[in-house]
Amino acid sequence: MTSLFDEVAEPAADGVQVRRVTITVNGRKRTADIEPRLLLAHLLRQGLRLTGTHTGCDTTNCGACTVLVDGQPVKSCTMFAVQADGHEVTTVEGLAGASELHPLQEGFKQEHGLQCGFCTPGMMLAAKALLDENPDPTEDEIRWALSGNLCRCTGYQNIVKSVLWAADKMRGPQSEAPAEPDESEKP
Amino acid sequence: MYPPRFRYERPASLDEAIGLLSSGRGEAKVLAGGQSLVPLMKLRFAAPELLVDINDLPGLDHHRVDADGSLHIGALCRHASLERSTILPDTQPTMAAAAPLIADPIVRTRGTLVGSLCHADPQGDWAAVVMALGGSVVAQGPSGRRSIASRDFVTGPFENTLAYDEVAVEAVIPGPTGARAGGYLKLERRVGDFATAGVAVAIEHTQGTIGRAGIALTGVGGATIDARDAADSLSGQRLDAATIARAAELAAEAARPRTDHRGSAAYKKHVVHTFVTRILTRISTTEEEAA
């Protein structure tokens, strides 16, 4: 149970509406008593201590706070937590398995898809939504899907490569091997 | 940033939503996609006392074509649904062109067309598209439904003619009277920025002779601009270099841009002229190839 947050509601305040919400976060049901004005990003970060969801611009521009709500990418700074009541939320903490990284996380590692890392959780969740719908995207489709996510290190080239790496990995061994130099063409 | 406190209700029926809005006596707002309203509340430009979240209301997420050819877009139809629509590419070229240009892909998963119309931002893309197509908004209140033409719907920046106890349930685009052609072009500095300038063109023609025509402009005035003279100059005409040039000139004359960080007023007028020319030229070329 998550309690009220000091930043938002002083429990003593009279006439302040508090709603009980139950949200499935990364597969686990979480219940909280919250003020309606609490943003989903703040419930995740402060209430549930899932600080992998970053708040960057706080004005619906940068996409660092992107999470999945029922599988769809959403800027969690632009949705009230009460709106997620009864829904499923996936944050970056929900990507990795017990012992191994999600292919997207592995891809960002392999292809140097992060520099400062601030935009990375949002990038990975926006990319996950893309790959769930389109397992074999072109580079253009990746750029399009990530166009609502800003990287101030401007590391876009490697972010796109990371998503391509993950897409390839997730399609499995039947898919084309990543472009390795052909042995016979080596000098 | 936190918005000021508000009361939140999530009604299960439209009647209940209307009842809540009535009880709010003008201090309540409808919450649909929230992609404009929530930022406004966080910046404290808007401070409704009551938010009526309509996301649980059944039967509002549709977009469908009725027997008379009219297109109906429900209040919970997201931009992303329109972007992925299988209906629009064949029947609504202007809308199909605009759908992928609304905000950014993540905002499009939640934001709605009807919400965008209600928000009445002079920079809103859908307002120009719906105006060019001669569309309307259907509002439901305690005493029933009424239809409001899009040109009468917006009274000023961020103001519309809805009564405080009405919910905009649907946008309607009338059925075509001929073959439909059109486009939407938008200049933006980056994905998700407001339009430096945007142009919506919608025409209906019978074997190349234009019947109904609409041209509307985004971001080049204090409101969405209905470039009526430009559109009227096309009616009864065929597209050729002279008619295209005339429509482009009249549309640029109708623009009322201001010089700002996105560009000078003269530049924005030039963009309007260029976009009208491009859209009409492409229609003309496509029609010629098809003939």
Domain chopping of chain A, boundaries: 20-94, 103-171
- Judge whether residue B3 has pLDDT over 90: yes
Complex-level ipTM: 0.94
CB within 8 Å: A36 and B55: no
Residues from chain B that touch A126, judged by Cβ atoms under 8 A, are 105-106
Per-residue pLDDT at B290: 79
Q: Does the pTM exceed 0.90?
A: yes
CA dihedral A160, A166, A171, A177 (to 10 degrees): 80
Confidence band, pLDDT 50/70/90 cuts, at residue A13 = low
Q: What topology is assigned to A103-171 in CATH?
A: DNA polymerase; domain 1 (1.10.150)
Distance between CA atoms of B33 and A24, rounded to whole angstroms?
A: 21
Q: What domains can be seen in chain B, in order of their start residue?
A: 7-53 (3.30.43.10), 63-173 (3.30.465.10), 179-286 (3.30.390.50)
Please judge whether A37 and B5 are an interchain contact, meaning their C-beta atoms are less than 8 angstroms apart. Answer: yes
Q: Which pLDDT value is given to residue A14?
A: 74
pLDDT of residue B1: 85
Q: How confident is the model at residue A181 (pLDDT cuts 50, 70, 90)?
A: low
B34 CB neighbours in chain A (<8 A) are 78-80, 83
Place B146 in a pLDDT band, splitting at 50, 70 and 90.
Answer: very high
Fold topology of A20-94: Ubiquitin-like (UB roll) (3.10.20)
State the nearest Cα–Cα gap between B1 and chain A, in angstroms.
7
pLDDT above 90 (res A177): no
Contact B34 A79 (CB under 8 A): yes
Question: What DSSP assignment string belongs to chain B?
Answer: --PPP-EEE--SSHHHHHHHHHHHTTSEEEESS-TTHHHHHHTTS---SEEEE-TT-TT-S-EEE-TTS-EEEETT-BHHHHHT-SSHHHH-HHHHHHGGGSS-HHHHTT-BHHHHHHHT-TT-HHHHHHHHTT-EEEEEETTEEEEEEHHHHEEETTEE---TT-EEEEEEEPPPSSEEEEEEEEE-SSTTSPPSEEEEEEEEEETTEEEEEEEEEESSSSS-EE-HHHHHTTTT-B--HHHHHHHHHHHHHH-----BTTB-HHHHHHHHHHHHHHHHHHHHHHHHHH-
> Does residue B191 belong to the interface with chain A, where contact is any CB pair within 8 Å?
yes
| pLDDT for res B291 | 73
CB < 8 Å to B6, chain A: 36-37
pLDDT above 60 for B58: yes
| pLDDT band (50, 70, 90) for residue A2 | very low
Whether the pLDDT of residue A34 is over 80: the answer is: yes
Query: Does A163 lie at the interface with B, CB-CB under 8 angstroms?
Result: no
Chain B's closest residue to A60, CA to CA, is: B39
pLDDT tens sequence across B200-219: 999 999 999 999 999 999 99
